[in-house]
């Protein structure tokens, strides 16, 4: 197995993370990629940090749920991995069943907690009174449904195909337009292969973790002022506790632009003079 062709993702096979990993492999131009299943995003980061794989795939932000805190915390506190690219995956939930099951046979609705929550209206209207079973992933619910005529899963069509379940009804989510941004991560210094298809070279996004010297009035305003003065358009800002003491926070920030841009370099250099740490966790091409 060539490490250059390995991608770690949150398993099991058939998850949205798996779908994202395969999309990344295609856009990287990989031939015969090797996919490594992990039990958590922490493990994906560990695989990358320890050199067990060339790339990892982690969820970064969901249109309904917001930033994925487990991912942000790994970037901020645990890992040296950097973001190399992004992939947006449309989240379309399906009701999946055993190929022989009828709706009247279903006594249990199984899925990941988010899958159940995001399809609550459909469940209440079409399958009232059924028992809800929370699984570790949407893919696991597709496997359970394929094996049991009395269980229906909420998963994507990809998982249904893999495990031999039937898509009884597609697009059952309460809110259309649900999407998740997945990040392709690698070790510091890693680059995308020349065969990649990620975005225009002139269009970049940069992600930072910013740590304050001390909690004081106007600290956030000071940070925002440096970006505003440099004409940098922020696309996300999220505060996270530093896990050192109550009320002590750091900031995760994303903006349009590359660390090679002169205005970005000026803003970052000014922030380095005022903050305890400016951690660049990726400057990468976007579509």
Please enumerate in sequence order all residues whose Cβ is within 8 A of that of 134, keeping only pairs 6 or more positions apart, or say none: 110, 111, 112, 113, 116
Nearest to 230 by CA among 260, 270, 279: 270
Catalytic-labelled residue, pool 158, 182, 198, 255: 182
Distance CA 1, CA 67 (A): 34
Catalytic-labelled residue, pool 180, 198, 227, 251: 180
Q: Residue 182 catalytic?
A: yes
Q: Residue 75 catalytic?
A: no
Catalytic residues: 180, 182
């Amino acid at each position: 197995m060539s490490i250059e062709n390995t991608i770690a993702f949150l398993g099991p096979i058939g998850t949205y993370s798996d779908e994202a990993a395969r999309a990344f492999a295609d856009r990287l131009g990989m031939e015969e990629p090797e996919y490594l299943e992990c039990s958590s995003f922490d493990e994906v980061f560990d695989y990358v940090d320890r050199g067990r794989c060339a790339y990892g795939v982690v969820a970064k932000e969901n249109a309904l749920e917001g930033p994925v805190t487990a991912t942000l915390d790994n970037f901020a506190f645990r890992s040296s991995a950097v973001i190399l690219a992004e992939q947006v995956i449309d989240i379309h939930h399906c009701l999946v069943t055993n190929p022989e099951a009828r709706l009247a046979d279903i006594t249990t609705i199984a899925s990941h907690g988010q899958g159940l929550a995001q399809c609550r209206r459909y469940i209440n209207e079409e399958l009232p009174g059924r028992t809800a079973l929370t699984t570790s992933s949407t893919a696991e619910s597709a496997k359970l449904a394929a094996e049991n005529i009395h269980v229906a899963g909420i998963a994507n069509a990809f998982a249904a195909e893999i495990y031999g379940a039937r898509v009884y009804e597609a697009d059952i989510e309460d809110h259309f337009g649900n999407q998740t941004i997945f990040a392709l991560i690698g070790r510091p210094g890693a680059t995308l292969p020349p065969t990649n298809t990620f975005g225009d070279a002139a269009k970049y996004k940069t992600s930072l973790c910013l740590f304050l010297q001390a909690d004081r009035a106007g600290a956030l305003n000071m940070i925002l002022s440096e970006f505003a003065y440099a004409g940098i358009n922020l696309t996300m800002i999220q505060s996270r506790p530093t896990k050192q003491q109550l009320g002590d926070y750091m900031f995760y920030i994303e903006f349009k632009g590359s660390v090679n841009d002169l205005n970005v370099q000026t803003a970052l250099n000014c922030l380095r003079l005022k903050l305890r740490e400016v951690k660049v966790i990726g400057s990468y091409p976007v579509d």
